[in-house]
Structure formats: structure tokens, C-alpha cells
Amino acid sequence: MTHPPGAVDPLMVAFNESFPYDKRMWQADITGSQTYARGLHRSGVLDAAECEALVAGLEAVAAEWHAGQFRAAASDEDIHTANERRLAEIVGAVAGKLHTGRSRNDQVATDMRLWLRDEASRIAGLMKEMVACAVGRAEAELDVIMPGYTHLQRAQPIRWSHFLLAHAWSWQADAERLIQLSKRFNKLPLGSGALAGNPFNIDREWMAKDLGFDGIVPNSLYGVSDRDFIAEFLNWASLTMIHLSRISEDLIIYSTSEFAFVQLADAYSTGSSLMPQKKNPDSLELIRGKSGRIFGNASGFMMTMKGIPSTYNKDLQEDKEPLFDTVDNITGCLQIMTGVLSTLTVNADNMKKALSVDMLATDIAEYLVRKKVPFRETHHIAGRAIKMAEDRKAPVSSLTVADFKTLHEAFEEDVVELWDFERSIETRNAAGGTAKESVREQIRLMKAWLASV
């Protein structure tokens, strides 16, 4: 295909533009531009009337966006050119002064940080709500006991609350990481120019303060090219989604007919198009599936970054779509998970029925430890007790005191007290354990954290 000399292939025009997706940053772009106009006034580039006209004109553009009345033009390559084009239509030639000393390179880097800072704050709020939901259920359902699993094999009895808090603690760590990440990227790149800096004595520290940043990016080359904060957010989102995926898998398993520990509310499950008896955990399956999508966004952007030479290159336009997609999807996943947790029904009877006395094998070993027998020895003795019961095709609780004494003379009449699941749970009373007071302490710690963020 040939084109007139100097003409741009229409396909290239579409290939190059980012307005269809970066228009969502309109507020960040206007906010940053208003501060830059004030900065130009402070440096003497604009007089007071020009600054006031630009700030007011940008406010008028923002009002159109808020009202859904902004009309794009064919020339709008990105959100930056769109807003400046509309500004010129409103205030006239003075709009041409706004870009003095500024490049789209430092402009977009600023917009991205402003936009992500707001989104990260909103997402942290959603994570706090999800944690609070889990903590609320843990407190309300403290007496529900269930099998704890390793390798998907029944291992030891635990509290349902302990299970919920295990996931809540991972989400708390995720929220902490997000807060730390947000602080790390809360630095202003505006004033870096295209790459070499701003020649008009712009007060970057003042602009940083005006926009709520903690300081400036101290190197202009780094300022226009740094997208590590996006890569870090995408990787943060990947890890957070792994945690959401893991509890999704747990609850999917627990909601099966074979387990029937929990039942999802109708609001978060669907029926089969063919089999009317089925209730599918689609909400949890979608969360589990989206974890792969979000990890793909992170790994894809990392591959984009790895070969880019110094300063700004057009490859960096590929930062927006994975970031926007990740923000949208993790936002939905957090809200859906909170909805699932707040509405699911716990079948405490089925959980209790799933407990079996062989899960108390470790308690047999610990019983002997309290009789001063070394643990390595008691572990083998407990195994022999289980084997004796299996050979008889009977539960280990059916063994008599005399049977136990054939295994070791330290067994006494009180061995029969072992076959109590609540008792077993209450022995795990060290900090972080599944005993009632230990779980209550976890709830207290978690509530204190929720109150502090």
C-alpha cells in the first residue's frame, strides 16, 4: 500500500493513538495541568490573568467530562492532546502556553502516578472491607470446628474461624504491601521535560506539594522512563490474586456435595443449563481464572520493559492497557469475594461429621510427651496405635487402656480423654494456634490493624 509523500498511513494513526483507553485518566491529566499552569505562573512564564484563564478553562473541560459531554475529535491522539485541544477551543491562544517546558513524556508519567495513586487507595479500601468481613465471620462463628487439611488429607481439627483468619492474614499482608508500594511511587516526575529537565526554573518541589506527592523524582531521565511502579503494582496484583484464587479453590471444594461444608448464596452461583440440580460456584471459578489473566498482564509488561533503552520510548505506551485491565479485574474480584464471604452459609454439622478420631493421632503422641516420653519415640508409638486399630478395622478410640499399655507403660486410664475434638483444639493454645483464646487474640490484632489503616 502506498501513500502520498509525508502522509501517515491511516492504519499507523490508529496503531499509534491511545485515546480510546487512556481517556480514563482525564481527571489526573487536568489536575496535573492545573498545577503546572500555577507552576508556570510562579516561575514568571505566565502572568496572573493567563494562569487564571488556563486553570478555569481546564475546570470547564473537567465539567464536560463529569457531565459526559466531552466530544472527542479525530485529531485526539491521547488524553493529553484531547484536553489541550478542548482547552484551546474554550480559552483561545493562551492555551498554547500551557505546554511550555513540558513534554508529553513527563506529563504522562505524572498522570499515571496520579491515577494509580487514587486507584490504589480505593483498592486498599476494598481489601480492608474484605478483611473486615472475614474477621466478622470469624468472631461470629468461633465455635464451629472442622477438619484441617494438609495435602488435601484430613490432618487435625481446627476452628472454622482459624481457617478464615489464615486467609485474612494473607490479605492483610497484601494490603500492607499495597500501602508501601503507593508510598514508594508517590514522587513527582513533572518538570523533567522530554528527558533533560525544565529550562524555565519551574519549582518542582512546590508542584509536588500541590499535587500531594511526597517529593520529586530526582533525575529527569529516570522521571520520564520509570515504569517500575506499574510493574510492581502488576506483580502485587498477581500475588494478591493468587491469594484470592487459593481461598476460591478451598471454598469450591468445600461447597461440593462430597464435602458440603459451605453453600454459596444464589447471588454468587449459577445453575446448569442442562442439569437443574446443580449449583455452580461460578463466582469463585471466575476469580480463580482471572488470577491467570492478571499474572499474564504482569509478565507481559515485564517483557515489554526488558529491552527498552534509556528514557522515553513508545513501547511504554503498552503500560496502560495491562494496568487498566488489572485494576478493573482485581477491583471486581475483591468485591465479589467480599460478597461471597458475607453471604455463604456454613454447615457446621457437616464439618463436625467430617472429623474422625484418626485425626487425633498426634494427640496420642503428645499425651506421651506429657508423660516425659521423647517425641520421636511417641510419634512411632502413635503410629502403631493407628495400625492396631486399622488391623481390627475399628476406630483408634475403640482401643482399651490395656491395648495402649501393650504399646507403652506410660499410658494410663486418662488416655480415653483424648477422643474429644474440642479438647484437642484447645491444646493448640500457643500464640497463632487454633484454640479459642488464640483465635480471639488474632481477631483482636486484626481489629486493631483495621482501625489503624
What's the rounded Cα separation, in Å, for the pair 75 and 96? 16
Quick one: 80 exposed, middle or buried, by C-beta within 10 A (0-12, 13-18, 19+)?
buried
Residues serving a catalytic function are 151, 272
8 A C-beta contact, residue 421 and residue 157 = yes
DSSP secondary structure letters along 37-86? HHHHHHTTSS-HHHHHHHHHHHHHHHHHHHHT-----TT--SHHHHHHHH
The pairing of strands 262-263 and 279-280 is unpaired
Q: Which residue has 484470592 as its cell numbers?
A: 244
| Strand, helix or coil for residue 154 | strand
Helices (H) and strands (E) in the chain, counts: 18, 6
What's the rounded Cα separation, in Å, for the pair 271 and 36? 55
Closest by CA to 305, choosing from 236, 224, 218, 230, is 230
Q: What is the CA radius of gyration of the chain?
A: 30
